[in-house]
Amino acid sequence: MSSSDSSSSSSASASDDPNPKLKPQPLESQFQSSVTLDGSDEASVSASVAEQRQQQGEDSGNGSIGGVVNVENNGHRDGSHREEIIALGVTADEDGGVVWRRANSEVEAPASPSSSGYAGERGSSGASSSSGAGEGSEEDEIEEVGNDDGDADGALDSQAEWTPGKRHVDEDDASMSWRKRKKHFFILSNSGKPIYSRYGDEHKLAGFSATLQAIISFVENGGDRVKYVKAGMHQVVFLVKGPIYLVCISCIEEPYESLVGHLELLYGQMILILTKSLNRCFEKNPKFDMTPLLGGTDVVFSALIHSFSWNPAAFLHAYTCLPLPYATRQAVAAVLQDVADSGVLFAILMCKHRVVSLVGAQKASLHPDDMLLLGNFVMSSESFRTSESFSPICLPRYNPMAFLHAYVHYFDADTYLILLTTRPDAFYHLKDCRIRLETVLLKSNVLSEVQRSMVDGGMRVEDLSVDLPQHTGSTSRADDKALERTRESALVGLGGPAGLWHFLYRSVYLDQYVSSEFSSPISTHRQQKRLYRAYQKLYVSMHNKGVGPHKTQFRRDENYVLLCWVTPDFELYAAFDPLADKALAIKTCNKVCQWVKDVENEIFLLGASPFSW
Amino acid sequence: MAATGNKNINAKLVLLGDPGAGKSSLVLRFVKGQFVEFQESTIGAAFFSQTLAVNDATVKFEIWDTAGQERYHSLAPMYYRGAAAAIIVYDITNQASFDRAKKWVQELQAQGNPNMVMALAGNKADLLDDRKVAAEEAQVYAQENGLFFMETSAKTATNVNDIFYEIAKRLPRVQPAQNPSGMVLTDRPAERAASATCCS
């Protein structure tokens, strides 16, 4: 499998970088001060670990069901976040019945008040047996898919052009094709009624939804919460939001944290459409069928799920700007500010998923996740393109209970304006604002500049100046060799200096990120998706609270060298050729940071109100 | 504005009806002369304007194409209040959409402007083989309720311009001093917003 060499340095003091915003401390010093393991020794160690892991995977894959359920203990008193790992042995009988066995009952901490909950739950045989019966069919399926390696829709994955809208409506949980889908998303109510399914007709999936509900309530009855279930290749991740249950079943290797993040965004998208007052419907009638309320929004959800495989905003929790000359962006901001001053809460000019400029009323700030959801909602709904529209929307991070009213107008195929107001009768005012705005934008040629920037694209790793310092004493032979290769590769257009293929840079204070254009080594859709997942995994590993605050990470596998550098001001994620030289890669990262600083006027929206709460 | 001769009339027009009945298709055919087979659901409400010349006047329609989805029903009053005309659209191949259209008529009779010109449009008239709602039935219903009725097809453009033209002709010529910009969306204050949730 993969031999990975990874080293990470964790240092608690942030004072390493006294003024990193202006002058980032060179990354190599961080590596020097940290314990780095490099070379073949390390590689062999990790290889054996990887082997072990693989073996484990196989064990659980072909055993009937060797699952690990991670349960969060709600009853714990000291407030600290505590997780218990409870191994559940689930054995399927021939007749499909399933027996749940708790193998590890001693993890019930004696002090925990909920320990009695476990025991009590076992007593309520009615609930557990009924959920167990439903369980059988569900787990059987996962096993089948596991045996198939879940690789069936590889063809679908490789297609570069993504068609919006729901696909495979004709499928249900009995269809083989449905079972082989790599990543399922479900939204259901706590009474087990299906609300949304990524694949297949929700109504035909009623039985399956009931099964998911049974699993969740089975654990809930014990005063606990099920976080995820691992079954062979599959990970089943649960998220409970009041009366709404969200479930992701994935056989793609993605961290639990990422999948929960996806479910959180999916929930946010639903709140954006309906507000949290949908909970009241369930208070009035627990058996409430929510599907009619979401009528016509399949495209919105499927576009969001699609963005989980390409849009870094989905895991970075930051937005990105269209590169524009500073003066141009300032000019747009000035016009938008006029609009905002006339009683508009937020005025946003976007080009696809990129922000051209945005302005908020005093003290109002927009969360990057809300921007992602809002942009997705507008872009995925074809109806906004036909004329000017006025629609209620809710910003879940701004106020999940109330609707705002959004005026949406497309200036051209990609560029659109969103004006958000609290006043339902403001349409004609917003329309006037738009007309004025359009006049200014046309006069100042902003719209054509936006179009040009779209065509020109953003930062290219090839443009990173190759004048790497040759006169560093510490590195010698390898350095020169790599430099040679660098020059060659630059000539044939294989990425940037030192084998740099791609980078992501996130400014912590601005809540914005910039991503380089994809260079030729990662030109295909499949390669880009794989890199996206690698970044996502890297992000999780750098933000995992349990492991401690890592500051740098260098990771080599057969696909890439990944380098990550996290400071209080920014986060850099860079991908290199798998054969890239480490010292050179580190130097290149410093170059990238400097480059970003040099052009930050053009790639970021500066002077926007900070987005923190 | 209400002078003799060539009058300019601003008229707010709202389209109501079930999702998929063809409200957006009718408007797009009328305003842009376009038709797409798979029209996506409207979000919230879309605004269009189109000017029509009738014999004695020029009528500028400000058209609100509302979303048929249930979650937007609570917003409908915002659009039909103060409207001079309404087109209630149903799909002739769908009985439920006709029943729903009758409910809209009731609501407009109870809540809407009493002088409102109301039209009933049986859309998708090109799909004769799948017809579920008889033209006679709709005609009788329309007569009983003081609407005028047409079967339309946004796909073939049959009767689309005609229905708007007919509305233009029927609009009261001596208009009450209407706000020229058509500003009146709602006469109730903003409290409406708080209650305008999905299920209220």
pLDDT, one tens digit per residue, over A391-407 is 999 999 999 999 999 99
pLDDT band, very low/low/confident/very high, at B170 (cuts 50, 70, 90): very high
Q: Which of A152-156, A426-430, B63-67, B136-140 has the lowest mean pLDDT?
A: A152-156
Are residues A289 and A335 both part of a single domain? no
Please tell me the distance in Å from B9's CA to the nearest CA on chain A.
18
Within 10 Å of residue A443's Cβ, how many Cβ atoms?
8
- Alpha-helix residue ranges (DSSP H) falling in A515-581: 525-543
Answer whether residue A96 is part of any domain: no
B-chain residues within 8 Å CB-CB of A277?
197-200
Lookup: tokens for B151: 């079967």
Q: Decide which of A451 and A63 is more confident.
A: A451
pTM of the model: 0.78
Q: Quick one: average pLDDT of A274-289?
A: 93
Answer whether residue A408 is part of any domain: yes
With the C-alpha atoms ordered A344, A345, A347, A352, is the resulting torsion angle positive or negative?
negative
What is the pLDDT at residue A161? 63
Are residues A395 and A494 both part of a single domain? no
Are residues A163 and A288 both part of a single domain? yes
CA A237/CA A228 separation, integer angstroms: 4
Q: Nearest to residue A289, comparing CAs of A208, A191, A392? A: A191
What is the pLDDT at residue A483? 54
Answer whether residue A115 is part of any domain: no
Are residues A452 and A471 both part of a single domain? no
CA A496/CA A518 separation, integer angstroms: 11
Contact state of A424 with B24 under an 8 Å Cβ cutoff: no
Per the prediction, chain A carries an average pLDDT of: 76
Each as own residue / partner, the long-range contacts of residues A400-404 (CB below 8 Å, 24 or more positions apart, any chain) are: A400/A271, A400/A275, A400/A276, A401/A275, A401/A276, A401/A277, A402/A275, A402/B193, A402/B194, A403/A275, A403/B193, A403/B196, A403/B197, A404/A345
Answer whether residue A170 is part of any domain: yes
pLDDT band, very low/low/confident/very high, at A118 (cuts 50, 70, 90): very low
Each as own residue / partner, the long-range contacts of residues A193-196 (CB below 8 Å, 24 or more positions apart, any chain) are: A193/A287, A193/A288, A193/A289, A193/A290, A193/A291, A194/A291, A195/A244, A195/A270, A195/A290, A195/A291, A195/A294, A196/A270, A196/A291, A196/A294, A196/A298, A196/A301
Lookup: tokens for A122: 């076992």
pLDDT tens for A357-374 read 999 987 788 999 999 999
Are residues A503 and A381 both part of a single domain? no
Are residues A181 and A271 both part of a single domain? yes
Calculate ∠ Cα A120-A122-A124, nearest 5°: 75
pLDDT tens for A542-562 read 988 766 667 899 999 999 999
Q: What's phi and psi for A408, nearest 5 deg? A: -125, 130
Contact state of A423 with B193 under an 8 Å Cβ cutoff: yes
Of B40, B70, B183, which has the smallest distance from its Cβ to A428's Cβ? B183
Q: Which of residues 135-164 of B touch A (CB under 8 A)?
A: none
Residue A101 has pLDDT above 50, yes or no: no
B-chain residues within 8 Å CB-CB of A405?
193
Residue A265 has pLDDT above 70, yes or no: yes
Answer whether residue A315 is part of any domain: no
A-chain residues within 8 Å CB-CB of B65?
387
| Strand-by-strand arrangement of the A66-73 sheet | A98-102, A83-92, A66-73, A224-231, A234-241, A244-250, A183-189, A194-197
Q: What's phi and psi for A119, nearest 5 deg? A: -65, -45
Per the CB < 8 A criterion, the answer to whether A601 and A326 are in contact is yes
What's A269's domain CATH number? Answer: 3.30.450.60
Contact state of B196 with A392 under an 8 Å Cβ cutoff: yes
Of A282, A309, A336, which residue constitutes the final position of a domain?
A: A309
What is the pLDDT at residue A111? 36
Residue among B73, B186, B197 with most chain A CBs within 10 A, to mutate: B197
What is the pLDDT at residue A174? 81
Does any CB of chain A come closer than 8 Å to the CB of residue B199? yes
Q: Quick one: average pLDDT of A182-208?
A: 93
Number of domains in chain A: 3
pLDDT band, very low/low/confident/very high, at A465 (cuts 50, 70, 90): confident
Please tell me the distance in Å from B75's CA to the nearest CA on chain A.
9
pLDDT band, very low/low/confident/very high, at A429 (cuts 50, 70, 90): very high
What is the pLDDT at residue A92? 35
Residue A442 has pLDDT above 80, yes or no: yes
pLDDT band, very low/low/confident/very high, at A45 (cuts 50, 70, 90): very low
Answer whether residue A129 is part of any domain: no
Are residues A419 and A524 both part of a single domain? no
Per the CB < 8 A criterion, the answer to whether A414 and A384 are in contact is no
With the C-alpha atoms ordered A235, A239, A240, A246, is the resulting torsion angle positive or negative?
negative
Residue A510 has pLDDT above 80, yes or no: yes
Of A266, A283, A309, which residue constitutes the final position of a domain?
A: A309
Residue A23 has pLDDT above 80, yes or no: no
A-chain residues within 8 Å CB-CB of B67?
296, 383, 391
pLDDT band, very low/low/confident/very high, at A69 (cuts 50, 70, 90): low
Residue A134 has pLDDT above 60, yes or no: no
What is the pLDDT at residue A363? 75
Within 10 Å of residue A469's Cβ, how many Cβ atoms?
9
What is the pLDDT at residue B172? 87
Residue A432 has pLDDT above 60, yes or no: yes
**3-state secondary structure (DSSP) of residue A134:** helix
Contact state of A389 with B46 under an 8 Å Cβ cutoff: yes
Answer whether residue A243 is part of any domain: yes
Answer whether residue A502 is part of any domain: yes
Using DSSP, how many helices (H) and how many strands (E) does chain B show?
6, 6
Q: Quick one: average pLDDT of A81-101?
A: 35
pLDDT band, very low/low/confident/very high, at A25 (cuts 50, 70, 90): low
Lookup: tokens for A605: 């929206």
Are residues A569 and A492 both part of a single domain? yes
Are residues A464 and A555 both part of a single domain? yes
Compute the half-sphere exposure of residue A146: CA atoms within 13 Å on the CB side of its CA: 24
What is the pLDDT at residue A309? 94
What is the pLDDT at residue B55? 84
Domain range for A482 is 11-55+460-603
Are residues A467 and A357 both part of a single domain? no
Residue A354 has pLDDT above 80, yes or no: yes
ipTM of the complex: 0.85
Q: What percent of chain A has pLDDT over 90?
A: 58
Q: Decide which of B147 and A165 is more confident.
A: B147
What is the pLDDT at residue A453? 95
The residues pairing with B15 across neighbouring beta strands, listed in sequence order, are: B65, B87
What is the pLDDT at residue A480? 54
Residue A116 has pLDDT above 80, yes or no: no
Of A456, A480, A504, which residue constitutes the final position of a domain?
A: A456
pLDDT tens for B97-127 read 999 999 999 999 999 889 999 999 999 999 9
Are residues A464 and A438 both part of a single domain? no
pLDDT band, very low/low/confident/very high, at A29 (cuts 50, 70, 90): low
Are residues A338 and A443 both part of a single domain? yes
Q: Which residues contact A43 (CB under 8 A, 6 or more apart)?
A: A3, A4, A5, A556
Residue among A166, A271, A390 with most chain B CBs within 10 A, to mutate: A390
Q: Quick one: average pLDDT of A167-172?
A: 79
What is the pLDDT at residue A495? 82
Contact state of A390 with B42 under an 8 Å Cβ cutoff: no
A348's enclosing H/E stretch is strand A346-351
What's A352's domain CATH number? Answer: 3.30.450.30
Compute the half-sphere exposure of residue A328: CA atoms within 13 Å on the CB side of its CA: 23
